[in-house]
Chains A and B, each alone.
Chain A
């Protein structure tokens, strides 16, 4: 039962061991050890998913929960934890560059994967903070990557904003510890009336700033366009697609368990509305593809926050759907933007050099816009339906903003598609896509199409998952009644 911890531990072990394998001179070992460990984690998590019947807790170190750190395993955690090794395998760093640099980037990717798995599974506030910091430091290194000059400045700016957020988040954790004396999410959940006063809400706002930097939430997302333009596009896909979703999951867990109040939901709703508005408008203004995708991801993450701000099961269902959809689509779009990172006007006729790439771009754009059979339609439908149901003025505003945002999205995505399928400009030929990127993007497309076909079973699965996730009493009982030795 406790094997799920290996999903966090094995990538860390791999990261430590990777520099050693380079020194032994066995070249193929160094190249293979990372993907092998990630594949092992994926198989492990898949086995845990199949054998799952009820949520359970793993008490790390054998120390029972409020004293020790506990991992809480339910379907929501397993879903996000399973996405981590799979997406990391699809986005594994390319072999370009000096030998040492490749090894270091692989170590950092493994550390990022381990940290993100920890974020999905952990049930302790400070442990979440530590894993979040690990993911952040690994991201700083990955952004630097092969070391082109803009990447240094972008990484520094991201580091400053993220460190500022972490300081604020740490003050928030100190506030919570001052008031309640515990850090375990289940224990805090039982004490959540103590945190319902303005001090507690301030602590929640600080936690949102702290964990929200990676989630590209409104006040602290200034780093996004520079970083996604300057870093390698595989790294951008990892950060925009995968890491941001895990950061959102942390905020949502804290919201559902410890601060399930209207004021906190409204805070997320307002920040989400700002995100959608700023993101979509700026994406329309962008003139090269990576920057456009970066602003677009801010917009989509705004939609995710609006979705999770809906009360009850509907919020979690809508949020998980939008988040998973965005994970698949945005990662693949960034992969396609790897070779297409010039100005949009320079992409004229790209479809004739790479038919598959253009077709995939069209597929993902249509899903992002929300065309009916594709999963993007369901995600937007769930969010708009949930907003229309409660009909408070703020939520109607959110509905309007999201609908306008969709129209603007259509404008800038179609602009790119028209450019792709226009007659080729023989003076400056568009570079071909790399085969590795096309392969990974095709895998994402297959997942998207499978989701489009299997709508009904997916719907039931997500509904069951959401029911469990909002059941805070169940969470408290599962975690706080664990016998001492790890089950």
Chain B
């Protein structure tokens, strides 16, 4: 009976969604805004990667909201999993074997470089703050797997989070002092395609990358260190 209900539900849902999305113009979207952005993004924003131009330029406020959501999730995670921070289980867990320890030591600088590369070149090639930030978080989480007793300090991570987030907003507020709107890109646009170009966009992405890295590393550490005590 329950399976029949499940099948009916699935069937109904598939039918509904297929009927609704069946006649959509797939492959020939109207592209009103997209077309206009493609024409003016290069001269206006100066980034070769148009997605970055949209993320940090045209829709910069969405990115600020996204950062805030990640911050809210990390803070709420701290509320849920924080509290009794006992290191008991971390000490009890033995250091991992030689392969993991050696591998973590080798991979850590490589991941750092890869992450920073992706972050800094966000305005030129596919990538950017969020993608690079996740790589950085993985870079900082790997040593924790190898040596559970040597974890990063949550205090430092939250300080980095806070400072970098405030820096993002400050970059946006600076434009307001000159009477322009919030998050107007600053500095000179430079030459299209160079590393130092498109104004303040690389700085914004750097802030985003560090913030995302710190937040995800802190979340992963909390999940890993939760020792299961009913607190």
Contact = CB atoms under 8 A, between A and B. Distances in A.
B61 interface: yes
Nearest to B37: A67
Given A58-B181, A60-B183, A61-B183, A175 B65 contact: no
A69 interface: yes
Contacts of A19: 158-159, 161-162
A180 B58 contact: no
Interface string B17-37: 100110111100111111011
Contact of B58 (A16, A67, A140, A202): A67
Contact of A62 (B17, B155, B158, B180): B180
B52 to A, nearest CB: 13
Nearest to A137: B72
A16 B59 contact: no
Interface string A61-87: 111001111000000000000000000
A144 interface: yes
A9 B166 CA distance: 11
A167 to B, nearest CB: 12
B64 interface: yes
A142 to B, nearest CB: 8
B181 A2 contact: yes
Q: Is the interface of B mostly helix, strand, loop or mixed?
A: helix
Contacts of B184: 61-62, 486
Interface stretch (A97-105, A231-239, A392-400): A97-105
A81 to B, nearest CB: 15
B173 A9 contact: yes
A15 B172 CA distance: 16
B75 A175 contact: no
Interface string A19-30: 110010000000
B73 interface: yes
Contacts of A182: 32-33
Contacts of A68: 57-59
Contacts of B46: none
B80 A60 contact: no
Contacts of B175: 62
Contact of A104 (B66, B79, B169): B79
Interface residues of A, number: 65
A13 B169 contact: yes
A178 B75 contact: no
Given A20-B159, A104-B78, A144-B79, A63 B58 contact: yes
Interface stretch (A107-115, A245-253, A414-422): A107-115
B32 A111 contact: no
Interface string B44-81: 10000000000001111110111011011101101110
B193 interface: no
Interface size on B, as a range, is 35 or more
Contacts of A131: 65
A111 B72 contact: yes
A104 B183 CA distance: 27
B166 A16 contact: yes
A5 to B, nearest CB: 5
Interface string A181-206: 11110010000000000110010000
Given A63-B57, A118-B65, A13 B161 contact: no
B176 interface: yes
Nearest to A98: B83
B182 A5 contact: yes
A101 B81 CA distance: 11
Given A17-B162, A118-B65, A199-B23, A111 B58 contact: no
Contact of A127 (B34, B59, B159, B179): B59
Given A69-B62, A179-B24, A61 B79 contact: no
A141 interface: yes
B68 A15 contact: yes
A175 B24 contact: yes
B69 A130 contact: yes
B29 A181 contact: yes
A458 interface: no
A99 to B, nearest CB: 11
A182 B36 CA distance: 11
Interface in A372-409: none
B53 to A, nearest CB: 10
B114 to A, nearest CB: 27
Contact of B20 (A9, A16, A98, A199): A199
A338 interface: no
B75 A107 contact: yes
Interface string B139-155: 00000000000000001
B75 A2 contact: no
Nearest to B30: A181
B34 to A, nearest CB: 7
Contact of B59 (A6, A69, A107, A152): A69
Contacts of B37: 67
Contacts of B127: none
A67 B180 CA distance: 17
A100 B154 CA distance: 12
B163 interface: yes
A127 B62 contact: yes
Interface of B: 17, 20-21, 23-26, 29-34, 36-37, 40, 44, 57-62, 64-66, 68-69, 71-73, 75-76, 78-80, 82-83, 155, 158-159, 161-163, 165-166, 169, 172-173, 175-176, 179-185
Given A5-B176, A6-B176, A15-B68, 12 more contacts: A5-B181, A9-B173, A13-B166, A16-B161, A61-B60, A131-B65, A134-B65, A141-B79, A175-B21, A179-B30, A180-B32, A183-B33
The 3 A-B pairs with the shortest beta carbon distances in the complex, nearest first, are: A486-B181, A141-B76, A181-B30
Interface of A: 2-3, 5-6, 9, 12-13, 15-20, 23, 58-63, 66-69, 98, 100-101, 104-105, 107-108, 111, 114-115, 118, 126-127, 130-131, 133-134, 137-138, 140-141, 144-145, 147, 152, 171, 175, 177-184, 187, 198-199, 202, 485-486
12 contacts: A61-B183, A61-B185, A63-B57, A69-B58, A108-B75, A108-B79, A126-B62, A134-B68, A144-B76, A145-B79, A180-B30, A182-B32
